[in-house]
Amino acid sequence: MIESGRLLGNRYKMLEKVGEGGMARVYRGLDLKLNRPVAIKVLYEQFAADPEFLRRFQQEAKAAAKLSHPSIVNVFDEGEEDNIHYIVMEFIEGSTLKEIIQREGRLPQEEAAQIAYLVCDALDNAHKQNVIHRDIKPQNIIITPEGRVKVADFGISRAASGATITHGRSLLGSVYYSSPEQARGGNADQQSDVYSLGIVLYEMLTGTVPFSGESPISVALKHLQEEIMLPPEIASELSPGLKRILAKAVHKDLQHRFKSSAEFRDELEKWLREEKKHHRGPSLISRVQFNGLKRAYEERDDFEPEEEDEEREGRRFPTRKLIVVLVLLLVVSLGLITAYRILSDLLVVPEVIVPDLAGMNLAAAERELEEIGLGSRVAGEVYSNSIPPNHIVSQDPPAGRSVRKERVVELTISAGPQFVQIPDLFGRTEREARLLLNDLGLEVEVEHDFDDEVISGYIIRQDPGEGFRLTRGETVLIVVSEGKRPFTLRNFQGWSLNDVREWLNLYGLILRNVEEEFSSEFEQGQVISQSPPAGETIRPGDAVDLVISKGRDISTYPVYTVNVHPAVPVGKTIRIVVQDVEGEKVIFEGVYTGQVFTARGVGSGRVVLMEFRDNEYHAIDTKQFP
Q: Which of 31, 135, 193, 451 is catalytic?
A: 135
Q: Same structural domain for residues 263 and 172? A: yes
The answer on pLDDT for 269 being more than 50 is: yes
CATH code where residue 573 lies: 2.60.40
- Specify the pairing of strand 583-591 against strand 597-602: unpaired
Q: Has residue 577 got a pLDDT over 90?
A: yes
DSSP collapsed to 3 states, 582-605: CEEEEEEEEECCCCCEEEEEECCE
CA angle 342, 348, 349 (to 5 degrees): 170
Tens digit of each residue's pLDDT (9 = 90 or more) over 44-59: 887 777 777 777 677 7
Instruction: Answer yes or no: is pLDDT of 222 > 70.
Output: yes
Q: Is 333 a residue whose pLDDT tops 90?
A: no
Check residue 305 and give its pLDDT.
38
- Report the DSSP beta bridge partners of residue 87: 41, 78
Do 389 and 491 share a domain, yes or no?
no
Rounding to the nearest 10 degrees, give the CA dihedral for residues 458, 464, 466, 472: -100
Last residue of a domain, one of 251, 277, 303: 277
User: How many DSSP H helices and E strands does the chain contain?
Assistant: 18, 30
Pairing of strands 7-8, 583-591: unpaired
- Angle between helices 261-274 and 109-127 in degrees, nearest 10: 150
For residue 574, pLDDT beyond 50: yes
Same domain, residue pair 108 and 175: yes
Confidence of residue 299 (pLDDT cuts 50, 70, 90): very low
- The percent of residues above 70 in pLDDT, for the chain, comes to 85
Q: Which residues have C-beta within 8 Å of that of residue 181, sequence separation ≥ 6?
A: 187, 188, 192, 254
What pLDDT digit, counting tens, does each position of 125-149 carry? 999 988 888 889 999 999 998 889 9
Q: Is the peptide bond before 397 cis (omega within 30 degrees of 0)?
A: yes
Contact status, residue 601 vs residue 607, Cβ threshold 8 Å: yes
pLDDT for the residue 589: 95
Instruction: Please indicate, yes or no, if residue 282 is contained in any of the structural domains.
Output: no
CA-angle at 515, arms to 129 and 12, nearest 5°: 70
Residue 566: inside a domain: yes
Boundary-marking domain end, from 458, 481, 504: 481
Cα angle 98, 104, 110; round to 5: 85
Give me the CATH number covering residue 20: 3.30.200.20
Q: At what angle do helices 190-206 and 97-104 cross, to 10 degrees?
A: 20
Average pLDDT over residues 294-323: 44
Q: Is 135 a catalytic residue?
A: yes
Q: Is residue 306 part of a domain?
A: no
Q: Is the domain of 195 the same as that of 225?
A: yes
Q: Which of 410, 356, 406 is nearest to 378 (CA)?
A: 410
Specify the CATH number for the domain of residue 521.
3.30.10.20
What confidence category does residue 458 fall into, taking pLDDT thresholds of 50, 70 and 90?
very high
455 domain residue, yes or no: yes
Q: 196 and 237 share a domain?
A: yes
pLDDT tens, position by position, 519-548: 989 999 999 999 999 999 998 888 999 999
Per-residue pLDDT at 501? 95
* Residue 125 sits in the same domain as residue 252: yes
Of 360, 384, 414, the residue that ends a domain is: 414
Residues 6+ apart with CB under 8 A from 116: 197, 200, 201, 204, 264, 268
Cα dihedral 332, 337, 343, 349, rounded to 10, equals: 140
Indicate whether 374 and 507 sit together in one domain.
Answer: no
In a domain, 328, yes or no: no
Q: Answer whether residue 337 is part of any domain.
A: no
Residue 578 confidence (pLDDT): 96
- Give residue-wise pLDDT tens across range 64-83: 788 889 999 998 988 889 88
**Tens-digit pLDDT profile for residues 378-409:** 989 988 888 999 999 999 999 999 888 889 99
DSSP string, 91-152: ---SEEHHHHHHHH-SPPHHHHHHHHHHHHHHHHHHHTTT-------GGGEEE-TT--EEE-
What is the Cα–Cα distance from 476 to 469, expressed in whole angstroms? 11
3-state secondary structure of 196: helix
Please give the Cα distance from 166 to 461 (Å, whole number): 19
236 backbone dihedrals φ, ψ, rounded to 5°: -70, -20
Q: How confident is the model at residue 173 (pLDDT cuts 50, 70, 90)?
A: very low
Phi, psi of 548 (to 5 degrees): -105, 140
Residue 344 domain-assigned (yes or no): no
> Which range has highest mean pLDDT (76-90, 171-185, 321-335, 488-502)?
488-502
Q: Are residues 621 and 567 in the same domain?
A: yes
Q: In the predicted model, is pLDDT for residue 194 greater than 90? A: yes
Is 515 in the same domain as 459? no
Q: pLDDT higher for 432 or 165?
A: 432
Cα torsion 56, 61, 63, 68 to 10°: value is: 160
Q: How confident is the model over 88-96, as a mean pLDDT?
A: 92
Could you tell me if 409 and 518 lie in one domain?
A: no
- Classify residue 324: in a domain, yes or no: no
First to last CA, the chain: 66
**Which pLDDT tens digit goes with each residue over 349-367?**
588 999 999 999 999 999 9
Predicted local confidence at residue 53, as pLDDT: 75
pLDDT band for 256, please (50, 70, 90 cuts). Answer: very high
Q: Tell me which DSSP letter residue 226 carries.
A: S
Q: Which residues on adjacent β-strands are paired with residue 608?
A: 577, 622
Length of the chain equals: 626
| Pairwise pLDDT comparison (623 vs 294), residue with the higher score | 623
* Number of neighbouring beta carbons within 10 Å of residue 352: 16
Q: Is the model's pLDDT at 570 over the cut of 50?
A: yes
CB atoms within 10 A of CB 553: 11
- Amino acid present at 283: S
Q: What is the pLDDT of residue 284?
A: 53
Q: Is there a contact between 403 and 372 (Cβ–Cβ < 8 Å)?
A: no
Alpha-carbon span 124 to 132, nearest angstrom:
10
d(CA 194, CA 361): 58
Q: What is the pLDDT of residue 307?
A: 39
pLDDT score for 323: 65
Quote the number of domains for the chain: 6
Same domain, 379 and 510: no
Average pLDDT for the chain: 84
Instruction: Give the integer Cα–Cα distance in Å for 117 and 56.
Output: 30
Same domain, 119 and 174: yes
Structural domain harbouring 177? 95-277
Contact 8, 40 (CB under 8 A): yes
pLDDT number for residue 473: 85
pLDDT at 163: 40
> 111: domain CATH number?
1.10.510.10
Residues 6+ apart with CB under 8 A from 589: 574, 575, 576
pLDDT of residue 277: 52
For the segment 558-578, the average pLDDT, to the nearest whole number, is: 94
